[in-house]
Amino acid sequence: MRVLKFGGSSLADAAAITHVVRLARKHSEPRESVLVCSACAGVTNRLAQIIDLMRDDQGIRALAGVWALRKRHRAILFSLELGAEQARVWNELEDLGAGLRESIAGTAARDADGAWADSVLSYGERASARLVAGALRNLAVRAEAVDATRFLITDANFQNAAPLREETRHRGREILLPLVERGVIPVVTGFIGATMDGVTTTLGRNSSDFSAAIVGDVLDADEVWLWTDVDGVFDRDPRGGAELRGPDSPDEEFTLLEELTYDEALHLANCGAKALHPRTIEPLREKNTILRIRNTFRPEHPGTRVGGRDNAQPAPTSSTPLAEESAAQ
Ligand code: ADP
Ligand code: ASP
Ligand code: MG
């Protein structure tokens, strides 16, 4: 089983999503793959601003922000040209948007608490999972969006919730395995979960990597791949300017770290290597699950491999095209 996670930087617009679903199809084995998606780039930041506006008693500006997000998702959907899938995804997005607007319009600044904020923050991943699932179906790949609130059970520490492992495993297998066995790729929302009582939570900013590792743990996956916008984990932020190259050696190249132990990866993540959320490591190391960090926009590059050093394998570059298998069903 392989979990493929796509970050917001890989889902910024329709062109990126079109590229992502082709990549996902190429690297998915029938009945062996699950996707995890972040919100489209910038959407969670925008939702966080909307929450601040609400708390600042600026409800009208908050609602305007929600309308702007609706417009952005609608533009992505229409540019995707999903044919027969378009109406279904549009209805799904409209339902999500209506819920969000009700929640903004019906909440007073003093009631904008942590639980309310997480329900607002969850909108981005719920929307992107539906766009990606629709785009996969449009390629004749069977796929369904799955809200992680249905199985990723956490404590009630809103904005930084911790998963309850046993309950999550039990519910996750109950929900995901029947889909996988039917040849349907679950497209799971990153970043979000729910309490035992069904109240939406989030796992902390940038935590969709962690969600992917949790899904990997639930399904006893062999590998978890984080597709992002750089070639892997480097010794410093590869998007940094000259100042990050150091005063003594301004021309020094950034070094891609091709193989890392779990401890090394954790250390780098804790030191700010944003391509990898630090909590990702914990669910993987126990089962020696291989983690790969790869570049969505340079998929020919093998990326960084974390763990699994004993039976090191290069990153696979192709596999059975799912479209053919789906078309035969
Ligand atoms: P995603 O949207 O895929 O989750 P993120 O923005 O969370 O992507 O993480 C990828 C970004 O992490 C890269 O664009 C890069 O600028 C930044 N980054 C910071 N430090 C490092 C590092 N040491 N190695 C790789 N990337 C890093
Ligand atoms: N969308 C969430 C965030 O921006 C989670 C993630 O991208 O990993 O923090
Ligand atoms: Mg990230």
Give the Cα separation of 47 and 121 in Å (integer): 6
pLDDT digits (tens, 9 = 90+) for 241-277: 655 555 555 566 889 999 999 999 999 999 999 999 9
Q: What pTM does this model have? A: 0.93
Contacts of 263 (CB under 8 A, 6+ apart): none
Q: Ligand 2 in contact with 128 (CB < 6 A)?
A: no
pLDDT digits (tens, 9 = 90+) for 174-211: 999 999 999 999 999 999 999 999 999 999 999 999 99
pLDDT at 29: 83
Closest CA to ligand 1's atom 11: 275
- Residue from 230, 294, 295, 304 whose mutation best tests the ligand 1 pocket (most atoms within 8 A of CB): 230
Q: Ligand 2 in contact with 208 (CB < 6 A)?
A: yes
Closest ligand 2 atom to 204 CA: 9
Helix ranges, the chain (H): 14-26, 43-55, 59-80, 86-105, 114-121, 123-138, 165-181, 208-218, 262-270, 281-285, 322-327
Give the Cα separation of 90 and 126 in Å (integer): 13
What mean pLDDT comes out for the span 273-292? 96
pLDDT at 241: 63
Q: How many other CB atoms sit within 10 Å of the CB of residue 163?
A: 25
Q: Ligand 1 in contact with 296 (CB < 6 A)?
A: no
pLDDT digits (tens, 9 = 90+) for 206-238: 999 999 999 999 999 999 999 999 999 999 999
Closest ligand 2 atom to 191 CA: 5
3-state helix, strand, coil in the chain (%, to 5): 50, 15, 35
15 residue type, one letter: A
Whether the predicted pLDDT of 117 surpasses 60: yes
Q: Identify which ligand lies nearest to the alpha carbon of 5.
A: 1
Pull the structure tokens for residue 319. Answer: 């596999």
pLDDT at 250: 56
* CA of 275 relative to ligand 1 center, distance in Å: 3
With vertex at residue 221, the alpha carbon angle to CA 144 and CA 266, rounded to the nearest 5 degrees, is: 110
pLDDT at 323: 37
Q: Identify which ligand lies nearest to the alpha carbon of 36.
A: 2
Whether the predicted pLDDT of 315 surpasses 50: yes
Alpha carbon distances (Å) from 75 to 13, 19, 81, 193, 242? 9, 17, 10, 27, 36
pLDDT at 310: 57
Give the HSE-up count for residue 44: Cα atoms under 13 Å, Cβ half-sphere: 28
Q: Ligand 2 in contact with 8 (CB < 6 A)?
A: yes
Q: Is 305 helix (H, G, I), strand (E, B) or coil?
A: strand
Pairing relationship of beta strands 290-295 and 304-306 according to DSSP bridges = antiparallel
Residue whose entry in the numeric block shows the structure tokens 């997480």 = 118
pLDDT digits (tens, 9 = 90+) for 96-112: 999 999 999 999 989 99
Q: Ligand 1 in contact with 236 (CB < 6 A)?
A: yes
Is residue 242 exposed (0-12), middle (13-18) or buried (19+ Cβ within 10 Å)? exposed
pLDDT at 324: 37
More confident residue, 312 or 109: 109
Whether the predicted pLDDT of 325 surpasses 50: no
pLDDT digits (tens, 9 = 90+) for 123-169: 999 999 999 999 999 999 999 999 999 999 999 999 999 999 999 99
Residue 70 confidence class, pLDDT cut points 50, 70, 90? very high
Give the Cα separation of 116 and 98 in Å (integer): 15
Whether the predicted pLDDT of 327 surpasses 50: no
pLDDT at 253: 80
* CA of 208 relative to ligand 1 center, distance in Å: 13
pLDDT at 322: 42
Pairing relationship of beta strands 290-295 and 143-146 according to DSSP bridges = unpaired
Contact 256, 52 (CB under 8 A): no
* CA of 230 relative to ligand 1 center, distance in Å: 7
